[in-house]
Amino acid sequence: MPSSRADIGDEAPSPLRYRPFVLMLIASAGTFSGFSLLLPVVPMWAVEQGAGPVIAGASTGVFMASTVLVQFVVPAFVRSFGYRAGLVLGAALIGLPASLLTVFPSAAAILGLSFVRGLGFGLITVCGSALVAELLPRGSLARGSGLYGLAAGAPQLVGLPLGPAVAENWGFVPVFVLATALPVVAIVPLLGLPRTYPRTATSRTGLRGAADVVTATWRPWLPMFAVSTGYGALATFLPIVLAPSVATIALLLTPGTAMLARWLAGHFGDRIAVPGRLLLPALAAGATGLLLFGLVAESDGWMVAAVVAVAVFGVGFGAVQNDALVVMFARAPAAQASVAWNVAYDAGQGIGAVAVGAVISATTVGAGFGLLGVAALTALPVAWKAGGRGRRGD
């Protein structure tokens, strides 16, 4: 007879039975579409306007910097105005400025518009992931996180390769129009959400203040940050480093494997009810993918290996995403856990893009991605501890 722990995932209802959760997933797909289309295209646009790789990387870095800055104030915002208001405002901010990129093509304007769009992304990422815990019972959290990963990952699966392909074949304007329209349309399902304020039950852990949240979440945070730096660098530089056809495949595989791995990790996580057990092998896979990509990216005869490398990275990235978020939900209130997770995700992307851009300018592509791979390896002992291995309790 199966243990009660193994049965938790089977007994809890499907997350798709909760209508507000489904509406949030639909809206998230729209807003993440606007994000995904432009993530690799804005750096291309910057290069097209005469800027170098540093500005190309900085466009992603500025976007992620503003994302992280606003994420810290989202818990206070939703306490006053609710999650729905945060999602609506975020969709407007990430979508509407995209239409201005062709009107103001200077490097300063590109960076300024990226900053504004990042504010919107910060709102939708924190509110969206927090609502996984706010709207679902505990036994459905890992699967809910996996489904949220599908809603966020499917747009990246399509948008990351589609954006550069459309820009190269039909110009940048159609990409900017799509990146404006999709988040704005996503506001419609958001209007069907309840206002939804943070539940008092999310304070049951007794955590107070940023220092307490950091203490509770830093172990799953560090592996998340390590793989996010790699994702930001890959999303920014794949269309610049690789041949167009190879870059399209790589940009398809990276979010595709991540999305599938996150969904599978959610099913596995609810069944074993022991969050954190996937962090170590997932982080090792992510580091391996980065190191392999750094070795082969500049070798014309090794393009298949480069594609394999980003797929291996994507598997690790997706599993780390899901497991790290569920661990944080177990250790901190939903809004604060969401902030911690999203800061790791978004700060990692921005820092990865800027750091690799700077290293590539001074050395080589291999050195830039090799540095990220080594950095991820150094976080393996923390991932081991985050999964509860090698110690009693937590």
Most confident region among 156-160, 219-223, 264-268, 343-347 by mean pLDDT: 219-223
Asked whether residue 221 is domain-assigned, the answer is yes
Residue 213 lies in a domain: yes
Residue 167 belongs to some domain of the structure: yes
- 291 or 138: which leads in pLDDT: 291
392: exposed, middle or buried (Cβ count in 10 Å: 0-12, 13-18, 19+): exposed
Mean pLDDT confidence for 253-263? 89
Q: Is 204 domain-assigned?
A: no
Report the distance separating Cα 236 and Cα 34, nearest Å. 16
Q: How far apart are CA 60 and CA 74, in angstroms?
A: 21
Cα(89)–Cα(58) distance, integer angstroms? 25
Share of the chain above pLDDT 70, in %: 90
- Predicted local confidence at residue 101, as pLDDT: 92
Does the structure show a pLDDT above 90 at 390? no
Q: Tell the burial category of 271 from Cβ atoms under 10 Å away from its Cβ (0-12, 13-18, 19+).
A: middle
The answer to whether residue 300 scores a pLDDT higher than 80 is no
Q: What is the pLDDT of residues 324-369, one digit of tens each?
A: 988 898 888 888 888 899 889 878 888 888 888 888 888 888 889 9
Query: Could you tell me what percent of the chain has a pLDDT over 90?
Result: 43
Distance CA 86, CA 91 (A): 9
Q: Is the pLDDT of residue 308 over 90?
A: yes
In the prediction, which pLDDT does 357 show? Answer: 84
Q: In whole angstroms, what separates CA 63 from the centre of its chain?
A: 13
What would the pLDDT profile of 156-215 be if each residue is shown by its tens digit? Answer: 788 878 999 899 999 999 999 999 999 999 999 999 988 877 764 444 444 456 677 788
> Distance (Å, rounded) from C-alpha 179 to C-alpha 33?
7
- Is 85 inside a domain boundary? yes
Nearest to 293 by CA among 224, 364, 223, 225: 364
Q: At what angle do helices 209-241 and 41-48 cross, to 10 degrees?
A: 60
Domain total of the chain: 1
- In contact, 343 and 276? CB cutoff 8 Å: no
Domain that holds residue 107: 13-197+209-386
Q: Considering the domain boundaries, does residue 274 fall inside one? A: yes
pTM: 0.78
Tens-place pLDDT, residues 76-130? 899 899 999 999 999 999 999 999 998 888 889 999 999 999 999 999 999 999 9
Residue 272 lies in a domain: yes
Residue 239: CATH number of its domain? 1.20.1250.20
Domain assignment of residue 2, yes or no: no
3-state secondary structure of 308: helix
Residue 199 per-residue DSSP state: P
